[in-house]
Each structure stands twice: as C-alpha cells, then as structure tokens.
Amino acid sequence: MVTVVQNEKHPTRLRAPYFSGQDAAELHRYFEPEFITRFQRDLQRHQINASSLGQWKQEDAFSKHDKKPVLRLPMHKSFYLVSCEVICDRLGHPALDPQKIKSAGFVIRRQTAQGEQSWMLEDDEVLGWESTPTGLRDPDVNRRFCCDKAPKSAGVVSVPIATYTGELTHPMHPIKVFDEKGKCHTILHGYLPLGGTYNYRLPQTKGSRMNPNDVFDAESLADFNRITAAQLLWPFGFRPVKGAATVDKTWTEDCARAVNKGKPTVAFFELLRTLVNRYHLGETNVAENGRLEDWATRQYFYNEAQNNQLKPENFTDTTHVTFMSARQYNLLDWLKKLLAESQNRLINYMAQQEKAADLNVEAFNFALLPAPASGSLSFSLYISPGDAQELRSLLDQRVLDNTLNKANEIPLPKFGQGKDDCYQAVSFVRIEDTCGHEQIVWADAGARTELFRVAAPFDVNASRPSLIQMPSLGDLRGGFAKGVSMITPADTFDLLDKLNLKKGVGPDLVTPNDSPSLGIQWICSFSLPVITLIAMILLMIMISLLNIVFFWLPWVRICLPFPSIKKGG
C-alpha cells in the first residue's frame, strides 16, 4: 500500500540545479524537436550554464505587461524543459540515489491577484483553473484513497489526511551527472507542454436557471445586454430610430397595430425576421421555442370589419378580450402554415422586401404579408403593451440561453495572455524511505520555476520563420496528378465535368434534383504543385486587392533573394 508520510530519518529536498544562476528550478528553451537528447548531451558535456539560460529569457521578455519571459507554443517550433535537482537534506547536500526515486513530475500553477490556481481534473475530464488545494497531498488520482492518519497523541483522535489534489501532472525523469569538479548530482527533467483547451462547465443549481453573472465577466455581460436590446426597434427592443439619440417609449398606433391590414410595420418586420431566421419559430421539434410559441398563440390577427370598436387606442391589456369575435387566427398558426409550404412564400417575401428596402429599412413601405392559404393578408395584428413587455423579456432570455449553451461548447485556451496570466512549474518527487514507504516531496517556494507567461498563437514576437518550398513551373508538367484525391458523387462529378472555361458557369449548369444520385462515384486526383501554386496566386491576388484599402503590403510580404544551398557529395 502506497502512503504519504514524513520521514525525518531521510529528509529529501528539491532545489535549483547546480548549473543554474538562480535559486529556482530552471526553464530550458530549444528550437529542435530532439530537445531531450540535446539537453542530456549538453548536461553531460557541461555546456549548460547560467549565462546561456539567462540570455534567452532576456530575448523573450516581450510581454506588454512586464519583463517576465514569454514561452512560445509548439506551433512556433519551440520546446521547453523543466529541470531541478533532488538532494538529501543533510550536511554536504549529497545527491539522492536515483534508485530511491519511485516517480517524479511537476504541475503548472497559475498565479493571480486572487491567489494560486491549479489545472484541475475530475474523472479524467478537465475542469480548468481552480483554487489550489492545500496541505500535504499527492496529485495522482490513483493515490487519492491512500492516506495516513495524523500522529496519535494523548486524548486526540487521529483524523485522515487528504492526499489527492486532482490536478494534472507531467512526468519528470532522473538523470545522474557529474559536474566539472567531479561531484555527483541527480537532475530531474521533464517536457513542459504549453497547449491544451477546456470546455467551460456551466454552474447550475438543481431546479433553477443558470445565472449569467456566474459565467460571464460583469463588464462584458453589460455590453452584451446593451447590444442585445438594441437589435430591435421599440416596442420589441430598445433601438432608437435613425437619427435619434434615445428610444421614444411612447405607445403609438404602430406599436398596438403591428400589422395594418396585411402591411407590417418596420418594427414587426424586423421581429418577424428574428423569429423566423434566428429562432425558426413555427418549425417543429424546436424545444427551445416553447415559451415563444406560447406567447405567439396569444397574439391574433383581427378582422377590423367585424368590430368597429377595434382601434389601436382601444386595444389594451384589459380590453383585448372584448374583441374576441374579430379574431381570425393566431400568430403561431400563421407561421406554421406558411413555413410548412413547399414554396416557402414567407421566406421569399422577407428576402424580396429586404432586397427592395436595402439600407433604408426604417423608411420602407412594406408589401402585404402572405396569407396562410394563398394570396395576401388582409387582417391586422394587434399587440398590447403587456404582450410587448413579455416578448422583450422572452427574447432577452432566449438569446441569453443560446449564449450560455454555446459557452459550454466553445473550447477555451489553457493559457491566457491577460495581465494576471502568470504561470509557474512546481516539481515533486516520490521516494522510497528505509521503511519501504513512499514519500512525496514538493518543491518549496524557492525551488519553483520563475514566473513566466505564454505567447498567443499569432503573437508576431513569438513567430519564427517557416520555409515552404514552392514548385517551379516545370513541375506542373513533369508529374502526375496523385497528390490529393477526392471521392466525388456522380451528380457532383457531372457538374464539374460540364464546366467550360470559355463559357463560364451559367444558371443552366445546375439542374435541381432532390432524389439521391445512384450513379457511380469518381475519385478525382490533383497535382500538389498545381494546388500549391493556385493557393499562392490566390493569396497574392487577395493581398493586392486589400492593399488598395489598407495599404498593408509592406507589412505582410517581404521578398529577399536566397541562393540555392550547396549539396554535399
């Protein structure tokens, strides 16, 4: 049984490696993939020293926040190692025998103004950065049930000591070396991974809605609410009309009568576009639309000719029930019947009106809405102030629910680049004492690595040159088309086969066919040199076009002469 104990007979300590010029575990930077072999070779040859270690940290101190070293990502073709030394904590600090090391590793901690955080796991699923567990614990999940009890004393009941932190660990490996004076050292080294993502876990109390304040930044959430409210005109949103600084919340005739004998107001047309295009209200099997559907079933188209008292000034939250005799059908039924049609008359209507209105939607006189069966609508849609207020609340909640659900799907990077995003590697080693027990030893505050930052993927200071060999024009005719192959259905191949370079692509090229294609499939292969040259040509065309607007060509392309490298032989 593996236990976590403190053995006073054989104390062990982690410290900075002997070649370091600082009192901390070391970080090593390499640009070649064989970095572990390079580290071990340089260690044996005494080629690692404080001067070389400090030089790259000064070169890579390009953070806009401070002068801490910035570690690049593997995509920048850069690799890092963590190293420290394990000693017997007694006179002379002799090296610990590697045979006594059962295992070793390190964890990465995030240092923030709110305290230290660890990269936590639960059932092998990443939770993200959470507060670091305290006390003498082991990070290995397989050791979480192995714990000792506190030392017994008179009248005191022993209490189990928690021995599991739950954070992600990275292995370290011991290597025995001799310094230039012949003294033996046991060095631990391990690869420092700087990638990774995680999905945010939405905090939700059972039986209650998720609170967005627990998920999003307060300032960002306020901006989100302001932008959401300004997407629709009053009374369905809080966007002011063009030229106005604030929203006029007066309840007007257009507010009460959103559709006037088939003609929608600008505000209702925008609402209709949101309900149909964004939320697909009226389509079946959209569970998230339940509350919006309930609201839409209580909004009716009225035949004003059946009740001469039905006027916008008379339609309120308390009087609308008196006009039941003039009701024709509700808004949800109207949407369902139109969206069920194969001709998609409602979709075509909205597309035509948007095209005709162009950028001047707020001053456009919309055409009559389509009727459920055929022809144009001749009835009016009335909405009370209470109905409008309820809809605004429902739309706010609907877009917020969408955002909360997306928050659980979007992968977040493990390492950020904010002011508080500083990181540190903390080493640990498990040794076997003279009693056969396994003892875990953590690096103290002085034996951790120095604080570092992590570069963003497209940080120009972190990027390193990447050379891609372009083909010559002679390569286009000299090889076969066996670089990239695509399996192509018969109907798609028929379309590609009809392409004519002289005639171009016409509307008669594509023949609508809803039935599945039963023809033979084709495998089309393309030459890699051709694909590479096409990509380069298209890139240069786009850069030249955008350079007309942004004048950025001197910053995105630099062409320098480069002689051919002499081949050995």
Does residue 444 sit in the same domain as residue 544?
Answer: no
Q: What is the DSSP string of 435-488?
A: TS-EEEEE--GGGSBPPBEE--TT-TTT-------PPPTHHHHHS-S-SEEEEE
Candidates 479, 482, 510, 508; CA nearest to 494 is 510
Residue range(s) defining the domain that contains residue 296: 212-409
Is residue 465 one of the residues assigned to a domain?
Answer: no
Using the structure block, give the residue that is written with the tokens 């604030």: 246
| Token code pair at residue 93 | 């600090």
> How many domains is the chain built from?
3
Does residue 143 sit in the same domain as residue 218?
Answer: no
Is residue 4 one of the residues assigned to a domain?
Answer: no
**Do residues 369 and 353 make contact, with C-beta atoms less than 8 angstroms apart?**
no
**Do residues 450 and 83 make contact, with C-beta atoms less than 8 angstroms apart?**
no
Using the structure block, give the residue that is written with the tokens 């940080």: 459
| The predicted structure's pLDDT at residue 434 | 74
**Between the CA of residue 91 and those of 21, 88, 95, 440, what are the distances in Å?**
22, 9, 11, 21
Candidates 168, 46, 59; CA nearest to 110 is 168
Beta partners for residue 116, in sequence order: 111
Does residue 120 sit in the same domain as residue 49?
Answer: yes
Helix axes 331-339, 345-357, angle to 10 degrees: 100
Does residue 196 sit in the same domain as residue 219?
Answer: no
The amino acid at residue 393 is: S
From CA 394, how far away is CA 401, in angstroms rounded?
10
Does residue 84 sit in the same domain as residue 165?
Answer: yes
Is residue 560 one of the residues assigned to a domain?
Answer: no
Does residue 421 sit in the same domain as residue 368?
Answer: no
Phi–psi pair at 224, nearest 5 degrees? -60, -45
Is residue 147 one of the residues assigned to a domain?
Answer: yes
Up-side HSE of residue 211: CA atoms within 13 Å toward CB? 7
**Do residues 53 and 17 make contact, with C-beta atoms less than 8 angstroms apart?**
no
Bond from prior residue into 507 cis (ω within 30 degrees of 0): no
Per 3-state DSSP, the chain is made up of helix, strand and coil in percentages (nearest 5) of: 30, 25, 45
Is residue 82 one of the residues assigned to a domain?
Answer: yes
Is residue 265 one of the residues assigned to a domain?
Answer: yes
Does residue 313 sit in the same domain as residue 435?
Answer: no
User: What is the SS3 assignment for 52?
Assistant: helix
Q: How many CB atoms lie within 10 A of CB 265?
A: 21
CA 209 to chain centre: 23
pTM passes above 0.85: no
Does residue 48 sit in the same domain as residue 177?
Answer: yes
**Between the CA of residue 57 and those of 68, 70, 148, 323, 456, what are the distances in Å?**
8, 8, 42, 78, 17
User: 233: which residues sit within 8 A by CB, 6+ positions away?
Assistant: 239, 241, 266, 267, 270, 362
Does residue 270 sit in the same domain as residue 397?
Answer: yes
| The predicted structure's pLDDT at residue 519 | 64
Does residue 132 sit in the same domain as residue 238?
Answer: no
**pLDDT in 10s for each residue of the chain, 569 residues:** 344 444 445 688 999 999 987 888 999 999 988 999 999 999 999 999 888 888 999 999 999 999 999 999 998 999 999 999 999 988 888 999 999 999 999 999 999 888 899 998 887 788 888 888 766 677 876 665 444 444 444 444 444 444 566 788 999 999 999 999 999 999 999 999 998 887 776 655 555 566 676 677 778 788 888 888 888 999 999 988 888 888 999 999 999 999 999 999 999 999 999 999 989 999 988 888 999 999 999 999 999 999 999 999 999 999 999 999 999 999 999 999 999 988 889 999 998 888 887 656 666 788 999 999 889 999 999 999 999 999 999 999 888 888 877 776 777 889 988 888 999 999 999 988 777 778 888 998 888 999 999 999 888 888 887 777 777 777 766 656 667 788 888 878 777 777 766 666 565 655 555 555 556 788 887 777 778 888 888 888 888 887 777 666 666 666 656 554 444 44
Does residue 404 sit in the same domain as residue 418?
Answer: no
Is residue 259 one of the residues assigned to a domain?
Answer: yes
| Token code pair at residue 100 | 């006594």
Does residue 82 sit in the same domain as residue 189?
Answer: yes
Is residue 379 one of the residues assigned to a domain?
Answer: yes
From CA 356, how far away is CA 227, in angstroms rounded?
26
* Residue 157 buriedness (CB in 10 A; 0-12 / 13-18 / 19+): exposed
Beta partners for residue 441, in sequence order: 429
| Token code pair at residue 401 | 């629910």
